[in-house]
Amino acid sequence: MMDQPKDPTLKTTARSLALIDRVREHGGANLPLLAEDLSLAKSTVYKHLSTLYECGYLVKEGDEYHIGPKFLGLGEHARSRKRGYQVADDAVRELTDATDEEIDFVIEDHGRVVTISESYHKWVKYPDDSNSSRYRARMGTYYHMHATASGKAILAELGRDRTEAILDRWGLPANTDNTITDRRTLFEELERVDDRGYSIDNEEFTEGLRSVGMAVDQPDGPPIGAMSVSGPSYRITDEVIEQNIVPALERTVKSFEQRVANDRSDGT
């Protein structure tokens, strides 16, 4: 029997995927920029871009490449392939109506969390002079777990070894002055989250934003994901969290978990 290679990944595939990431991050990019970004020869980058273009994963506008609509179908498939993910849309709408705040549902993916369902109340809640876009979760956006309420809610249930592995991979980068950047401090925070059943992002991801998160559990295995309620810090006070947000989160998460459990028992 042949020994398995230490690194089973294909460099050519990894380069193509890295190009896709760079195109997305730049909001569109030309060949010279991508070659410089990845420190690759222009001829190499051209072959990768041409392949991705011909396969429909990239489109070209002038001399710039952009993410193609083929990813839309792939993303929707990834978002809805599990019954629990489908239930999330109903739960998000329910919690939006109950709190009049921004709601999102995230799942853990390779050590980060990614938003797969979100909702904003019909009322405009942010001041006209604020940069409201910074408060909004975006479908498919990845976040470091230690800096978000949802991420910390999930980390509190993953166990020490798994959390250590995540920190080894992604570190503890600081988004704001309030972001936890020390492992000991983070684990102390996760113990508090575990004790009270919910987490708080106290302007740790974005200045001026507070969030409250709660893990969504399943009958067996790790959490399905986590739900969070977010809003400006002047409105998401400790009193509002305790009296309004936490009770609403608990009701919605309990209903979410019950629907998932019922689906399991029904074999759906």
What integer is the mean pLDDT of 121-125? 54
pLDDT (0 to 100) of residue 133: 41
pLDDT at 1: 39
> What pLDDT, on a 0 to 100 scale, did the predictor assign at position 248?
97
CB 105 within 8 A of CB 230: no
- pLDDT tens across 82-97, in order? 667 778 889 999 999 9
Domain residue limits, the chain:
11-68, 80-266
157 has a pLDDT exceeding 90: yes
| Cα-based distances in Å from 137 to 68, 170, 179, 206, 207 | 22, 20, 18, 11, 14
Gyration radius of the chain over CA positions: 21
pLDDT given at position 128: 42
**pLDDT recorded at residue 7:** 65
**pLDDT number for residue 119:** 86
Can you give the pLDDT at residue 83? 61
- pLDDT of 70 reads 84
Query: At which residue do the structure tokens 């991979």 appear?
Result: 169
- Statement: residue 111 has pLDDT above 80: yes
Q: Which residues of 198-221 are buried (b: 16+ CB within 10 A; e: fewer)?
A: bbbbbbbbbeebbbbbbbbbeeee
Question: Rounded to a whole number, what is the distance in angstroms from the first to the last CA of the chain?
Answer: 41
Residue 126 has pLDDT above 60, yes or no: no
What pLDDT digit, counting tens, does each position of 164-200 carry? 999 999 999 999 999 999 999 999 999 999 999 999 9
- Which pLDDT score is estimated for 200? 97
* % of the chain with per-residue pLDDT over 70: 87
How many beta carbons lie within 10 A of that of residue 140, not counting itself?
Answer: 12
pLDDT of residue 121: 59
Is residue 127 pLDDT above 50, yes or no? no
For the chain, where are the alpha helices, taking DSSP H only?
Answer: 11-26, 31-38, 42-54, 70-80, 83-99, 149-158, 160-170, 183-196, 238-240, 246-266
When mean pLDDT is compared across 45-54, 144-153, 177-186, the lowest value belongs to 45-54
Q: How confident is the model at residue 208 (pLDDT cuts 50, 70, 90)?
A: very high
Fold of 11-68: Arc Repressor Mutant, subunit A (1.10.10)
pLDDT of 9 strictly over 80: no
**Residue 101: helix, strand or coil by DSSP?**
coil
Identical fold for domains 11-68 and 80-266, yes or no, is no
CB 84 within 8 A of CB 105: no
Each residue of 50-105: pLDDT tens digit?
999 998 889 999 999 998 888 877 777 776 676 677 788 899 999 999 999 999 99
What is the spatial distance between Cα 128 and Cα 33, in angstroms, rounded to a whole number?
36
Structure tokens at 91: 């739960």
Average pLDDT of every residue of the chain: 87
Helices (H), 39-171: 42-54, 70-80, 83-99, 149-158, 160-170
Average confidence (pLDDT) over 245-266:
88
CA distance 3 to 177: 48
Query: What is the C-alpha separation between 74 and 13, in angstroms, rounded?
Result: 18
DSSP-based helix, strand, coil % in the chain, nearest 5: 50, 20, 30
Query: Regarding the domain with residue range 80-266, which homologous superfamily does it belong to in the CATH classification?
Result: GAF domain (3.30.450.40)
Confidence band of 2 (pLDDT split at 50, 70, 90): very low
CA distance linking residue 41 with residue 49, whole number of Å = 12
